[in-house]
Amino acid sequence: MDRHGAVGGTISSVTAMLHRIFDVFSSLKLTIVCLSLTIVLVFAGTLAQVDSGIHEVQQRYFQSLFVWWPSASGGIPVFPGGHLLGAVLLANLIAAHARRFRWTWKKFGIHLTHAGLIILLAGGLFTDLFSVESSMRLAPGETKNYSEDSRVMELVVIDGSDSELDQVTAIPASRLGKGGTIGHASLPFRIVVRKFYRNARVQPLGQAGPEALPASTEGVGSRVAVFEVPRATAPNERDLPGAVIGIEPISGGAPSPGTWLVSDQLGAPQTFSCAGKTWRLEMRPARYYKPYSLTLRKFAHERYAGTEIPKNFASHAVLTDPERNENRDVLISMNNPLRYRGETFFQSGFEKNDTATILQVVHNPGFLAPYVACVVVGAGLLFQFGCHFVGFLHRRGTSP
Amino acid sequence: MKQYFPWIALAVAALWIVSNSRMPTSAPGDFDLVTFGKIPVLSDGRNKPLDTVARNAMLIIHGKQTLRLDDGRVLDARRWLADVLFNASAADKHPSFVIHNPEVLGLFGWEQDGRKYFRFAELVPFLEKIDGQGRQVASVESAKRTPFQTAIHNLRNSLILYQRLKNSVRPEVTLGFADEIAAFRAAIPPGLEAMAKREKGEPFDQKKFEAFVGLAARFQTMSEMACLLPVPPGPAGSGPREEWLSVGASLLQTISTGEGNPVTEAYALTGDAYQGGNAALFNRHLQDLAEGMAKREPQASGRAAYEFFFNQLAPFYQAMGLYVLAFLLVCGSWLGGNRSLNTAAFYVLLLALAVHTFGLGSRMYLQGRPPVTNLYSSAVFIGWATVVVGLIIERIFRDGVGSACAAVIGFTTLIIAHHLAGSGDTLEMLQAVLDTNIWLATHVVAITIGYSAMFLAGTLAVIYVARGVFTGSLTKKSAESLSRMTYGVVCFATLFSFVGTVLGGIWADQSWGRFWGWDPKENGALLIVLWCAIILHARWGGYIRQRGLMVMALFGNVITSFSWFGVNMLGVGLHSYGFMNKAVPWLAGFMISQLVLMAIASLPPGRWRSFQSEVRS
């Protein structure tokens, strides 16, 4: 009996607690608290952009559970971040509607509005998690079947022994940052990380001062010095990671004592031999390969007559897709992107004296959510406030 | 009598507008600068009349559109521009350049002696110094410049503009430009022959060669300096229809075509007559120029004439006057409890709205764009939208509150627009990314209407607090109706701010593939939406009532002004068009005033004069 009672008591106290949690999550107070905190967060995140790059601000304030102070690596959480506030607001929205939903025309506008907000918030979260942004730089006549993400660097080891196809093994720079030894089934050797730089600068030994030492024993690294600089914060800068690595053959032969410097500031790839093959070694932006390719025919930068005010940027390119048997001219210009096979190409910039183009390539499976949400919320608000207004005018009309 | 008063007030206001709208005429025997002002040129990428060129150049160089000479005579902008274009040596003696900054004067070894305007001739010895100092500043971000740096940078820009203008339609030093052109045309065939021989290494006529090359080099310099392109493309059907050309470039074209350009020659003759002080001759050649232009470029000429008319009418200045009048009438109706004054205010406001609308519509016609394209036009549009909503509220409640808000915000936004216009052409061409009428018409307009509604709600709150705390006039009924108005306007603001913000995201998705980037201007818009959401939820939840709503609406003013102006002052982000150092103290002052009002509004009801009797009973 006692046991039974105790279990019953536990169950009822658990349900009571769940009820209480549900109460909290569906309360209007929580909505107001979260919205107020969001205002403070957005305001702080706006002011922070005066001193920090937008990318860093996004990660610190908006794409995080907490804002850490003085920094994320060493500090304490001082404020809820964008992801946490967004998630709580979303839960609050859903809980409140689960609890109070009642179908009446009077409430129709409010339901519609909040349904739209759920789409918007969920879509935002989805985009944050699943969208991939990269860029494609094309000089006239150049063809590429990949885009690059210069914020994510990777170390690639290329087996070029097959003249038709390169065998590429890629290691993210973030993996190098963890140190240790890295191996892969396709490689007859292991890579040992001797030193990793989050943001490195490379200088020829002659210019680096009398005390500078060669960065590595082999390759380009033997002629240059490498040193760490503070992480990039300006909007147009990015970290340029670098590493000093060793190559350890898995079978046969003693481990080579030589080290190699890898960094995307070195320009050309370096080569070394192992297990009877020649391998290319390169640090470069991460690539996203596509089953189709783009060739730039011409980049046009128009200005208004007699001024330097840009009028239009346009890339005239050729899209080739052997799988789908497509080969056609495409035009990508300001406010006129190319959408193809789930990816969108936007005119983003230009380089090399106005001849080469930079295209922003976005894969965002959730891109429709804001469009739907805008219509739904707009209709909801219009309906709700319209009802208020008409009712108000009606009452005024009938009152003496 | 009382029932006629509103109509009388309206008639007086309308007469005032009409009397201000008379088009200028030039006295017989004087230089016809009215026709001159209507002639179209291409400048900063768009066709505009010389009148607009003159006004904008004077705003940049002189800081205002009229110039007082030392002998007391006052030059208007067209007269000043005619001097600069056609008679540079006279223009150099006008006190054209405004310099306020004592450190800039110190650079020249001058002490500040109350003089603000300086002649080009005085500045000539320091041109190199100004250029060097100004160049150094160019690399400093505009947000981080000291007052001295801003001043020297502006002075350098003014000097560059001035010297380019002087060489735009004729060389700044010439004894007779028409003669020069004739000499050039005569020199072309022998000059080309000599040139060909010289290239082949054969003996050639050195004199003929030099005569030709010397003039060609002179026109080449002119073409490089020109900031006006006054020569329209050749008539349709006569070869390829090209762009507008500078006078220098059109003269160089003569080398290949062998034919002179009638517009170029008409400009030369007109300029020679002006320089020679011959008004009759000037007017005759100017008439030829205007008629030739109207025949060749009927559309550009038509628009230029319309823009001239628009400039003369200055609808926004006139509307400002009417808003002041309307506000005074409303105040009178409150003080005297007189309904007819209130009706008069409403009529005057309708007239002001008509004038304001005419200005807005004219800008849209001239630019071929939706109403908001830059910060200046956003101020004009915010005022317009607020007046429309204010008048609707007035129609519903008929207690003067809607009219008062409309008048105050209409006037304030036009004053702000007036100060934003100091940087030159307010009908400037749009950067590539903004070149899309769909998004300008939807996103930008919706956001701007959202701002209008927020300011309107804030102003209603100011009236509530001011009447409630400082006077006994806020009865229960009027407090009730103010609170209804404020709530309604906040709902309206929520709708437009939300839709506008999301449309902005969709635009960004269309042009960058990124719906939301946490850019400062985007964040500013989001802050407004969030604040509206908080107000509405707090009210629905019963956490705030009348006074709480008012306090929150006041803070809406702070947030909206931050979003509209404040984020631009951060100097970062994609939307940071137009940075204004000068506006910082004004913005800060406005925000502080709203915070003070919020504090006053938070006084307990016993301290509110209107609520004292209620509290006591």
What residues in A contact B539, CB-CB < 8 Å? none
Mutate which of A335, A357, A359, A362 to test chain B, going by most B C-beta atoms within 10 A? A335
Q: Is B491 on the interface with A (CB under 8 A)?
A: yes
Residues of B in contact with A382 (CB under 8 A): 495
CB contact under 8 A, B523 and A58: no
Token pair in block for residue B532: 């509206």
Pick the residue from chain A with its C-alpha nearest to B489: A385
The reported pLDDT for the residue numbered A226 is 87
| B580, β-bridge pairs | none
B45 in contact with chain A, both atoms CB, cutoff 8 A: yes
Report CB contact under 8 Å: A374, B484: no
Give contacts of A 316-355 with B, CB under 8 A: 334-335, 337, 344, 346, 348
Q: Which of B394, B423, B452 is the last residue of a domain?
A: B423
Task: Using CA coordinates, name the residue in chain A closest to B225.
Answer: A306
pTM for the whole thing?
A: 0.85
Same domain as B188, residue B126? yes
Q: Which residues pair with A203 in a beta bridge?
A: A225
Higher pLDDT, B226 or B427: B226
pLDDT of residue B483: 94
- Does A255 have pLDDT greater than 80? no
**What does the pLDDT average to over B124-139?**
90
CB contact under 8 A, B498 and A46: no
Per DSSP bridges, beta strands A200-204 and A189-197 are unpaired
Q: Kindly state whether residues B510 and B579 are assigned to the same domain.
A: yes
B240/B319 same-domain check: no
Structurally, how many domains does chain B consist of?
3
B570 vs A47: CB contact, 8 Å cut-off? yes
Residue B577 pLDDT > 60: no
Per-range mean pLDDT, top range of A65-79, A238-252, B275-289, B507-521: B275-289
Cα radius of gyration (chain A):
29
B498:A377 CB<8 A: yes
Residues B1, B54 share a domain = no
pLDDT band of residue A241 (cuts 50, 70, 90) is confident
* End position of a domain, from candidates B375, B401, B423: B423
Both tokens assigned to B106? 């110190």
- Is the CB of B570 inside 8 Å of chain A's CB atoms? yes
**AA letter at A218:** E
| Pairing of the two strands A277-303 and A143-159 | antiparallel
Q: If pLDDT is split at 50, 70 and 90, which confidence band does B339 have?
A: confident
Scanning B240-299 for CB atoms below 8 A from A yields 243-244, 246
Residues B20 and B50 in one domain: no
Name the residue with higher pLDDT: B366 or B260. B366
Distance from CA of A32 to the nearest CA of B (A): 6
pLDDT of residue B357: 97
Find the CB nearest A62 among B505, B518, B538: B518
Q: What's the rounded Cα separation, in Å, for the pair A28 and A100?
A: 11
Return d(Cα A55, Cα A126) in angstroms, integer.
19
Please check whether residue B431 lies inside any domain of the structure: no
Q: CB atoms < 10 A from the CB of B156, how many?
A: 19
Whether A360 sits inside 8 A of B530 (CB atoms) is: no
The residue of chain A with its CA nearest to that of B243 is A305
Which positions 20-39 of A are in contact with B (Cβ < 8 Å)? 28-29, 31-32, 35-36, 38-39
Q: How confident is the model at residue B121 (pLDDT cuts 50, 70, 90)?
A: very high
pLDDT tens for residues A172-219? 888 888 888 888 888 888 888 988 988 888 888 878 777 778 888 888
User: At B571, is the pLDDT very low, low, confident or very high (cuts 50, 70, 90)?
Assistant: low
- A52: closest chain B residue by CA: B572
| 3-class DSSP assignment, residue B553 | helix
Residues B228 and B85 in one domain: yes
User: Alpha-carbon distance B442 to B341, whole Å?
Assistant: 38
Q: Evaluate whether A277 touches A154 at the Cβ level (below 8 Å).
A: no
Of B43, B503, B513, the CB nearest to A337: B513
- Same domain, residue pair B85 and B150: yes
Residue B538 C-alpha, separation from nearest chain A C-alpha, in angstroms: 7
pLDDT at site A297: 93
A112-158, pLDDT tens digit by residue? 999 999 999 888 888 877 888 899 999 999 999 999 988 888 899 88
How do residues A313-350 score in pLDDT, each as one tens digit? 899 999 999 999 989 999 998 878 898 988 999 888 88
Task: State the Cα torsion B359-B361-B367-B371 to the nearest 10°.
Answer: 100
Q: Tell me, what's the pLDDT at B3?
A: 81
Residues B407, B460 within the same domain:
no
- Residue B326 host element (H or E): helix B315-336
Contacts of residue B9, defined as CB under 8 A and 6 or more positions apart, other chains included, come to B325, B329, B344, B347, B348
Interface of A with B in 140-179 (CB under 8 A): none
Percentage of residues of chain A with pLDDT beyond 90? 25
Q: Residue B235 — very low, low, confident or very high, per pLDDT cuts 50/70/90?
A: low
Range with the lowest mean pLDDT among B18-32, B309-323, B552-566? Answer: B18-32
Average pLDDT of chain B is 89
pLDDT score at B576:
47
**Cβ atoms within 10 A of the Cβ of A229, count?**
12
Looking at the structure, do residues B279 and B410 belong to the same domain, yes or no? no
Tens digit of pLDDT for each residue in B267-326? 999 999 999 999 999 999 999 999 999 998 899 999 999 999 999 999 999 999 999 999
Whether residue B326 sits in one domain with residue B303: no
Per-window interface: A 225-244 vs B, CB < 8 A:
235
B464 HSE (CA, 13 A, CB side): 31
Phi first, then psi: give them for residue B473, nearest 5 degrees: -85, -10
Q: What's the pLDDT at B356?
A: 97
Selected residues 297-316 of chain A with any CB under 8 Å from a CB in chain B: 303-307, 309-313
Q: Between A354 and A73, where is the model more confident?
A: A354
- Chain A residues inside the 8 Å CB shell of B506: 370-371, 374
**pLDDT per residue as tens digits for the range B450-501:** 999 999 999 999 999 999 999 888 888 889 999 999 999 999 999 999 999 9
Q: Do A334 and B432 touch (CB under 8 A)?
A: yes
**pLDDT tens digits for B396-410?**
988 899 999 999 999
ipTM of the complex: 0.84
Confidence label for A1 from pLDDT (cuts 50, 70 and 90) = very low
**What are the structure tokens assigned to B311, written together?**
């400039």
Inside any domain, residue B429:
no
Confidence of residue B342 (pLDDT cuts 50, 70, 90): very high
Q: Flag whether residue A139 sits within 8 Å of chain B, measured between CB atoms.
A: no
CB A344 within 8 A of CB A361: yes
Q: Please tell me the predicted confidence (pLDDT) of residue A58.
A: 86
Considering CB atoms only, which of A31, A62, A385 is closest to B491? Answer: A385
Closest CA of chain A from B244, distance in Å: 8
Q: For chain A, positions 56-115, list CB contacts with chain B under 8 A.
A: 57-58, 61-62
- pLDDT tens for residues B185-210? 999 999 999 989 988 888 888 888 99
Is pLDDT at A400 greater than 50 in this prediction?
no
Strand blocks (E) in B110-176: 117-119
* Residues of A in Cβ contact (< 8 Å) with B141: none
DSSP string covering B170-192, please? Answer: S-SS-S-HHHHHHHHHHHHHHHH
Name the residue of chain B whose CA is nearest to A363's CA: B513
* Number of A–B residue contacts, CB under 8 Å: 161
Same domain, B123 and B160: yes
Q: What is the pLDDT of residue B112?
A: 77
Question: Does A127 lie at the interface with B, CB-CB under 8 angstroms?
Answer: yes
- How many angstroms away from the CA of A382 is the closest CA of chain B? 7
Please check the confidence at residue B237 and state whether its pLDDT lies above 70. no
Q: What is the residue range of B199's domain?
A: 32-313
Give the distance, in angstroms, between the CA of residue B506 and the centroid of all CA atoms in the same chain: 29
pLDDT at A232: 73
Interface probe with A: pick from B484, B502, B576, most Cβ of A within 10 Å: B502
- Residue A34: band (very low, low, confident or very high) from pLDDT cuts 50, 70, 90: very high
Is B435–A29 a contact, with Cβ atoms under 8 angstroms apart? no
Q: How far apart (Å, rounded) are the C-alpha atoms in residues B225 and B164?
A: 5
Distance in angstroms (rounded) separating the CA atoms of residues A82 and A42: 9
Distance between A84 CA and the closest CA of chain B, angstroms: 16
Question: Which of residues B261, B293, B313 is at a domain's end?
Answer: B313
How confident is the model over B55-67, as a mean pLDDT?
91
Pairwise CB contact (< 8 Å): A335 & B510: yes
Q: Which of B43, B518, B521 to mutate to test the interface with A (most CBs of A within 10 A)?
A: B518
Number of alpha carbons in the 13 Å side-chain half-sphere of residue B275: 23
Q: What is residue B24's DSSP assignment? A: P
For residue A323, the SS3 value is coil
Q: Which residue has the tokens 């400048």?
A: B43
Inform me whether the pLDDT recorded for A307 exceeds 80. no
Provide the strand spans (E) within chain A.
66-70, 75-80, 132-138, 143-159, 167-172, 180-182, 189-197, 200-204, 224-228, 242-249, 259-263, 270-274, 277-303, 310-321, 326-333, 338-340, 343-351, 356-363
- B174 or B258, which is more confident: B174
Question: Which of B226, B514, B572 is nearest residue A50 as measured by Cβ atoms?
Answer: B572
Regarding whether B321 and B298 lie in a shared domain, the answer is no
